[in-house]
Structure 1
Amino acid sequence: MTSDGPADVVEVGGGRQPPGLRDLLRILEHTPALVLGRRLDVLASNQMARALLTDFDALPHRERNLVRFMFCDENARSLYTHWDTHAQDIVASLRRDAGRHPHDPLLAELVGELSITDEDFRRWWAGQNVYRHTHGSKHFHHPIVGPLALNYESLTLPADPDQRLSVYTAEAGSSSEEALRLLAAWIRQPEPSHGQHADH
């Protein structure tokens, strides 16, 4: 179960989000949603996004990044059904950021680190593919609710072109929609009290 902090939305450094956007993330109770910034930093996320992907709130600040998650977290390779495809898309998106901000030292640090530690990243980065994904589909095999086929929409925020809101949805009436409902119910289960026993 994901951590249950003071609010459903976790916000980290790297960019400010308007209060209305934070409220939007919070009310999307059954839909994973997150705000990505430059370098694919995760600037804010709701509970569903953290339950689907990883608990970004529990990670050290520098690791709250979708690229680091994809290549440095072993769970990502089993979570994404087509990991290779999605990982290459992530690299192509990061390439776009590099073209827009060629002198970003944090981006250079990220690329340098992953180029040394991950052969797949190094090969795909050298391919120099550039792409911006505004919509599409992703397939997951979640350890709690099983297979998920989700569509995503990525919307650039008018106040900051480096920030975008990504929302994951399931087809109405599908098994994936039911799986999202189960995931939403799971993250809202109360933690057992200390000393509480199942057999009374």
Structure 2
Amino acid sequence: MARKSTKAAEARERARERANRFLEREQELLRIAERFEEAQLEIEGVDAATEAKVAKIREQAEARIAEAREQAKKDAAEARRRAEELQREMLTLGINRREVGERLGISTRSVVRPEGKKPVKKLSDEKAEAEAAALVREGVMIQLDGDVHRQLSPASADGTELHGMLYQDGEEQGEATVDLATAEWSR
């Protein structure tokens, strides 16, 4: 019987050794899994911090872009003001808007009006005839009702009525006649 109990004790010991090895292995696997989870949390933290940095950089870039656009607007407005001033200088030398446009390579419509010229309204017949003749001779367009322009040719014997194409935003809108003696218009 002693032999049986020795064998049983030996078997128990071997089973314990195997169980201990299994437990040690499980403990090691658990430690590895814990370290893995720590690394995952660190990755998530790095990702979140990176996204926060990227968002801040984008915000700063958008602010700088807005500043650059605002400065560009100011610079363009100043350049436009200088260009208009130079066009007015040419006009004060006695040349008409059509010639200014030709010399500068821009359309007559784009040439600024001399300072102080307001829209003409209800001219006398004599003045209307003179203005109409000048408009036709210069080949300019006149503005009526905001952004509408007419390219004109004489439509009446006395020249106070002019006929031409009607344009809005650069697109042809049809034909029309305007009486310079009664319409409100400007060059």
TM-score, reference length from structure 1: 0.20
* TM-score w.r.t. length of structure 2: 0.21
State the structure with bigger RCO (CA 8 A, min sep 6), 1 or 2: 1
The answer to which structure has the higher helix fraction is 2
